[in-house]
Amino acid sequence: MALKATVYKADIQIADLDRNYYADHAFTLARHPSETEERMMVRLLAFVLYACDGLTFGKGLCVDDEPDLWSKDPTGMIRLWIDVGQPDEKWLRKACARAEQVVLVNYGGRATDVWWEQNRNALLRMDRLTVLRLPAEAGEALTALAGRTMRLQCTVQDGQVWLTDGAHAVHIEPVRRS
């Protein structure tokens, strides 16, 4: 019998002072059986960082040709493609050919730095690609906020992110690699 996705509900209030974006969002997130809570929370953080009208979650790990998040214009053209983790460089090249802007939110501590060193030259040639590195402790801190029902407040200012659930607060400063 196949394992089913775990359903999470998230209500999030975003105040992005850097982009003058202020909105409330309600999500139902499906966490694939092979996805960790950390990865799911990084996907949620990626949404916060790039929130805009039309930004939606992809179908997840079970679909090969979709990103974790994306935004399309009314004609179906992909404006923004967002992935998390350490994907294959060829996958990112394909994404850059399909979308106006591609963002990779890189997380995972030391393994992230090794991945970057192995792929740096190829990735720096992709002019539509932005790579953000999360500090090693960010994933663990985000996971502490995870719950089957989440009510989060988020503030983004000067490239820094503050997330709170009322009981715990997390501060994350993503570093732009490219």
Average pLDDT rounded to a whole number, residues 146-154: 97
**CA proximity to 172, closest of 44, 85, 5:** 44
Helix ranges, 89-135 (H): 89-98, 110-124
| pTM of structure | 0.94
What are 126-144's pLDDT values in tens digits? 999 999 999 999 999 999 9
pLDDT band at 2 (very low <50, low <70, confident <90, very high): low
1 has a pLDDT exceeding 60: no
pLDDT of residue 124: 96
Query: Could you identify the residue written with the tokens 């009314």?
Result: 74
On whether the CB atoms of residues 170 and 163 are closer than 8 A, the answer is yes
Q: Which residue has the higher pLDDT, 4 or 9?
A: 9
pLDDT-derived band at 4 (thresholds 50, 70, 90) equals confident
94-128 per-position pLDDT tens digit = 999 999 999 999 999 899 999 999 999 999 999 99
pLDDT value for 25? 97
Q: Which domains does the chain have, with CATH numbers?
A: 37-148 (3.10.640.10)
Give the pLDDT confidence score for residue 34 in this predicted structure.
87
DSSP 8-state symbol, 178: -
Residues 26-81: tens digit of each pLDDT: 999 989 888 999 999 999 999 999 999 999 998 765 556 789 999 999 999 999 99
**pLDDT reported for residue 64:** 66
What does the alpha-carbon distance between residue 175 and residue 131 come to, in Å, rounded to a whole number? 8
